[in-house]
Amino acid sequence: MDKEAKTNVDIHPILKQRWSPLAFADKPVEKEKIQRMFEAARWAPSNNNLQPWRFVIGFKGDETYNKILSTLIDVNVEWAKTAPALICIVGKKVNHKGDPNKVYPFDLGHAAAQMAFQATADGFNVRQCVGFVPRKAFDALGLPDLYAAVSIMAIGYPGDPETLSNPLKKIAKAERVRNNIEDVVYTGKFGQKANIF
């Protein structure tokens, strides 16, 4: 299934190829590729180099996988249960002095994006979601008090969308769309279009 982004201007091929499947193939993800994903995350931009990201990974069939899966809301369980690996992305909420780090979710976003780009470069995809119960993840995974579960990432090779229920099948087959760039890039003041496109 061709899901390459139809961009207005040329961008890096990896960025065009990255997408979020709802169906995953019954094929394990290679350990070396998982290692590269985490290495990509390790080198993500970080405010004051605090590197607040932490990751809890489970592989299909193991206890950690089942714990992560149990935190998802029902609609997400349907597609996530086919992924060969699930990762709970966790953030440290304080800095090295113990003061609140209000931008830790921003850093986690950088790390997750770099993981997705590396996964795409290696031939598989990730789907990220926030449709889960953070408190359940906190308890199930034994997170320390200064940490928060922020999102879940499913990893694997894209599968056949025909295996999904009708509502999800329709979403999986839909054309990828984005807002017009002219509607989101401003200059001078908010809402004033930038004349660069």
Residue 196, pLDDT > 90, answer no
Q: Which residue has the tokens 């990762």?
A: 87
Phi, psi of 170 (to 5 degrees): -65, -45
Residue 22, pLDDT > 80, answer yes
The answer to the question of residue 181 being in a domain is: no
Q: What is the mean pLDDT of residues 132-156?
A: 98
pLDDT for 43 equals 98
pLDDT for 157 equals 96
The answer to the question of residue 194 being in a domain is: no
At 80, the pLDDT band (50, 70, 90 cuts) reads very high
Residue 1, pLDDT > 90, answer no
Q: What is the mean pLDDT of residues 160-170?
A: 92
pLDDT for 2 equals 76
Six-digit token string for 109: 């976003």
Domain of 75 in residue numbering reads as: 20-159+171-175
The answer to the question of residue 155 being in a domain is: yes
Radius of gyration in angstroms for the set of CA atoms belonging to the chain, rounded to a whole number = 18
Instruction: Compute the distance between CA of residue 67 and CA of residue 73 in angstroms, rounded to an integer.
Output: 13
Total number of domains constituting the chain: 1
Residue 195, pLDDT > 90, answer no
* CATH number reported for the structural domain that contains residue 74 in this entry: 3.40.109.10
At 163, the pLDDT band (50, 70, 90 cuts) reads very high
Share of the chain above pLDDT 70, in %: 99
Average pLDDT of the chain to the nearest whole number:
95
The answer to the question of residue 32 being in a domain is: yes
Residue 34, pLDDT > 90, answer yes
At 103, the pLDDT band (50, 70, 90 cuts) reads very high
The answer to the question of residue 103 being in a domain is: yes
The answer to the question of residue 180 being in a domain is: no
Residue 121, pLDDT > 80, answer yes
* H helical segments located in 122-188: 134-140, 166-173
Residues 6+ apart with CB under 8 A from 185: 193, 194, 196, 197
**Contact criterion met (CB below 8 Å) for 70 and 136:** yes
pLDDT for 197 equals 80
**Contact criterion met (CB below 8 Å) for 162 and 72:** no
pTM for the model: 0.94
At 112, the pLDDT band (50, 70, 90 cuts) reads very high
